[in-house]
Amino acid sequence: MRKTHILPTLSVLLLFFGFSSCHEVGETIANVVVLNELGAPVQGATVRLYAFGSVDEDFVGEPRFDTTSVSNAAGMVSFNFSTFYVEGQAGFAVLDIEATKAALSGTGLIKIEEELTNEATIFIE
């Protein structure tokens, strides 16, 4: 009488199909380019991305995101929000941008879409 080993074969098939259908989560990046009024890149500008948790007439919540970095020679700052993204969530964030260098400043917004490289340009004057 021949014994069949269905359980081990079934386990191997489940493992194969389970791992082959996994979705690799891409990085969620925000790149901000800082330019002066002539359109030239501004190196050494301080760029802050932030968003408040809740805002109403009487109460401004704690910042949900608040991160700062300094622009490189190309005027660019890159922020990685991959650790904040949860797979399956709908939408990610719209963040305020503040850029400053000495007496120059500029503001704007950036919409962060999950698993993409998002970009914004800020002019400081």
Catalogue all structural domains in the chain, each as residue range(s) with its CATH number: 25-124 (2.60.40.1120)
Instruction: Write down the pLDDT at residue 62.
Output: 60
Is the predicted pLDDT of residue 58 greater than 70, yes or no? no
Rounded CA gap, 13 and 7, in Å?
A: 10
Q: Which two tokens stand for residue 62?
A: 């704690």
Instruction: Please give the share of the chain, as a percent, with pLDDT higher than 90.
Output: 54
Instruction: Please report which confidence band the pLDDT of residue 57 belongs to, taking 50, 70 and 90 as the band edges.
Output: low
Instruction: Write down the pLDDT at residue 3.
Output: 55
Contacts within 8 Å (CB) and 24+ apart, 16-21: none
Contact at 8 Å (CB) between 111 and 79? no
Instruction: Please report which confidence band the pLDDT of residue 119 belongs to, taking 50, 70 and 90 as the band edges.
Output: very high
